Amino acid sequence: QILNRVRDVDASDSEAVKEALNAFFQNLLKYKDIDCNRWLRALLNVINRYCGTHRPTIESYLTHFLTSNNFFNVIEAAKCAHAVQQPIQPQLILAVILQALSAPGSEDSANVTAIKIQALRTLDALQFQELLVRECFALHDHASARAMCVLRALEACRTSGSLKVPPPTQYCLQLYSDLVNSPQREVSKFCSQALMDIRLHLHCSPASLSFSLGEQSQKQKDKEEGRKRVSERNRVVLEKLLGID
């Protein structure tokens, strides 16, 4: 009955979805040994359709199948684990934003328009970045000149992209590490230099340095102000004992 409810619930009815998911996750851990294949398939459907919430419960349930001898259950558990690790698709983020902002009385119309435009721009930037990354991981299909063009575009995207879109540093590290040993000399040299730039930025970030200097400067200033206060108190006491002159 719980599985049927999760399967048939109207996705547009947020309260019904919430109730169905709560009932599902409350009973999930009871089905580690009995009827678990059906529950694993239902879990995969829940993750793909709705959310990656209740993550501790999901992970606790899936780890039970690490030592299972039932290969069918292991395969279904692996599918669920893979789905949990996938990032939320930009299209889904945009759909949620637009749905929330389009609700009556949510925001001023001018603000709604500005937020929608910014969301669309962010989505475009994310999709462009995704295409670049995919293209770079297929460089073996391209000539050296074409490969260098794509790599330079990706590096430009990483170093000077929009502040509202996270840079693809993780993918760049993996890609450049693989391509350092490329038989194409120009590609190998470019990736080596790019790796040095990333590591230098990660390990010698000026933000932490400036924060440290600012903190040190503030401590010094507080120390000097403390000395001034002590000096003023001492002057008052001496004036009382010896007179102003």
Report pLDDT digits (tens) over 20-40.
Answer: 888 888 888 888 878 788 888
Lowest mean pLDDT among 130-139, 156-165, 167-176, 182-191: 156-165
Report pLDDT digits (tens) over 40-98.
Answer: 888 888 887 776 667 778 888 888 887 777 778 888 888 887 777 666 566 666 666 66
Report pLDDT digits (tens) over 91-139.
Answer: 666 666 666 666 666 556 666 677 677 777 777 777 777 788 888 888 8
pTM, whole model, 2 decimals? 0.41
Question: What does the pLDDT read at residue 245?
Answer: 56
Three-state SS for the chain is: CHHHHHHHCCCCCHHHHHHHHHHHHHHHHHHCCCCHHHHHHHHHHHHHHCCCCCHHHHHHHHHHHHHCCCHHHHHHHHHHHHHHHCCCCHHHHHHHHHHHHCCCCCCCHHHHHHHHHHHHHHHHHHHHHHHHHHHHCCHHHCCHHHHHHHHHHHHHHHHHCCCCCCCCHHHHHHHHHHHCCCCCHHHHHHHHHHHHHHHHHHHCCHHHHHHHHHHHHHHHHHHHHHHHHHHHHHHHHHHHHHCCC
Question: What does the pLDDT read at residue 172?
Answer: 82
Confidence grade of residue 219 (pLDDT, cut at 50, 70, 90)? low
| Mean pLDDT of all residues belonging to the chain | 74
Confidence grade of residue 149 (pLDDT, cut at 50, 70, 90)? confident
